Structure 1
Amino acid sequence: MPGGRLTDEDRERIAAGLAEGLGYAEIGRRLERPASTIMREVTRNGGPDGYRAEAAQQDTRHRARRQKQTPPPVPSLPDVGYGRDPRAVQDITESFTALLVQQGLPRMEARVLACLHIADAGALTAAELVARLRVSPASISHAVAFLEQQGMLQRERLPGERRERYVIDDGIWLRNLLAGLQMTQALAAESRRSAAVLGAATPAGARFESSAELLDLVSDAFRQAMDKWRQILAARGVDQD
């Protein structure tokens, strides 16, 4: 598998693959590159709809010049025990962060969430997050406040100390699915109401009716997945409160 930086030709092929509607994995196979490399390249250069090969190449050159002028601090690579390859850990951290950003999570919040996932304890203090991500305490404070509001992490106070740490658990995606289920159900209900107002026999009404049917199927799938996951957690003896 070829290594090194992406070339102009690589970026042209990535742009062509995106235009064909190919996924990152397929583009990566064609270029003999990891899908994570393709995803990071596209995410940092406009996303799937805004990626342009020439612009991406120019931005990469600009970043390279800035890095030569002011070398950034070497990022810490924590939690590399168990015989893990530190660079592989860094790669999955960056890939997971990029995927969260692509799904709509703000970048700093995505970095914090990825950092907590990579930590074996699944819990870090604000000071530890500042040290690992090399950002200001204010950035961490804003990010964890947002993630807590979304139900994606919890706070807990260390025994006998004033410090808090931020924790993720096995219920994080269950809570995320529940929020998605509630939104999907609301969209389905509004679609059915719109179909009734517009008339189910009209083109616009039929469109809303069809949307409601699909959203109902998605809601059913969400509920089944959540029920199955609760059963798995119960079998593991995990508290689901």
Structure 2
Amino acid sequence: MPGDRLTLQDRQQIAAGLREELTYAAIGRRIGRPTSTVTREVMRNGGPRGYHAEAANRAGARHGHQRRTAAPTPSPGRTDPGGRDPRLVDEVEAQSMELMIRAGLPQMMARVLSALFTTDSGSLTSAELVRRLHVSPASISKAIGYLENQALVKRERDPHSRAERYAIDDDVAFQSIVAGARNQTRVAEACRIAARKLGTTTPAGARLENTSQFLLHVIDDLVRSAEHWHEVYPTHPRKTSESDD
């Protein structure tokens, strides 16, 4: 096994594993490679939905040729700004993205959101996201627009430059639940109005009325629970004061 270089057969096994919806760890075990190797391979070549073994193999061959012909430049080991191994960060980011996609989030939106989640600052500019994800600015803009509508990200002005930053709040889960509750309340109200128009004694009207009441009760319970746990688990860690020592 020549270093970390993947063969076409390895890549075909990766593609097969993705079709079977295996995790990166499971695919890595199947081909005898570290999870981080599989993660980088998939992320460099279209993500879990756009990965193609033959195209990835051609890109890998070009990349290997460029490495051999480029002049060597000694440099210290690359580390994440937080002092973490960047391979570990990549792995966590990829696993987060996988889970978001399986939960129904479109691929590009999941990639942007997982990148923000795994960044200590919780914010990145469009240029930073383009470099990190190897996609076009238009793709980033479309993803941000979608995530804004879901109350998952917000726009901020960088105080040190004129660039716009895209940020994720520490309480993003709470904000998302509240935004989802608002949308579901509109659905419940629409069902109630439709039930009145059709007549609540008819089968269709009764179905719509029951759906409306069900949604309203569930939404009320969900929001109350979210507000309670939002108070119990504050989004910003409590700072240790000198009096705590």
SS at match of 1:70: helix
CA apart distance, 1:119: 0.8
The superposition leaves residues 201-228 of structure 1 with CA deviations (integer Å, 9 ceiling, x where unpaired) of 3322232232123212321222113312
Q: Which structure: larger Rg?
A: 2
Matches for 1:85-124 after TM superposition, within 5 Å: 86-124=86-124
Task: Return closer, same or farther for 1:78/1:155 CA change in 2, 3 Å cut-off.
Answer: farther
Q: Give the length in aligned residue pairs.
A: 195
Query: How far apart are 1:152 and its partner, in Å?
Result: 2.0
Deviations 1:155-197 (A, max 9, x none): 2233342223221112322222122111211222222233333
Report the TM-score, using the length of structure 1 for normalisation: 0.62
Partner of 2:53: 64
| Superposed CA RMSD | 4.0
Q: Which runs of structure 2 are paired with 1:175-194 in the superposition (5 Å)? A: 175-194=175-194
User: What is the CA deviation profile of residues 71-128 of structure 1, one whole-angstrom value per residue up to 9, with x for unaligned ones?
Assistant: 2869xx97485555x5443333223223333444332222111101011111122222
Counterpart Cα distance in 2 of 1:235 and 1:111: 23
Amino acid paired to 1:98: E
1:29-56 per-residue CA deviation (whole Å, 9 max, x = no partner) reads xxx9xxxx9xx9xx957xxxxxxxxxxx
Gaps of 5+ in 1: 16-23, 46-58
By how many angstroms is 1:235 displaced? 8.2
Distance 2:230 2:15 in 1: 47
Structure 2 length-normalised TM: 0.61
Structure 1 residue ranges (4+ consecutive) displaced by more than 4 angstroms after TM superposition: 4-8, 80-84, 233-238
Contact kept? 1:155, 1:166, Cα under 8 Å: yes
Which ranges in structure 2 are unaligned for 5 or more consecutive residues? 1-9, 31-37, 65-77, 239-245
Q: Is the 8 A contact 1:80 1:89 kept in 2?
A: no
Q: Do the aligned partners of residues 139 and 191 (structure 1) sit closer, same or farther apart at CA in structure 2, a change above 3 Å counting?
A: closer
Matched, 1:128 2:142: no
C-alpha change, 1:73 and 1:231, in structure 2 (3 Å) is farther
> Sequence identity of aligned pairs in percent?
34
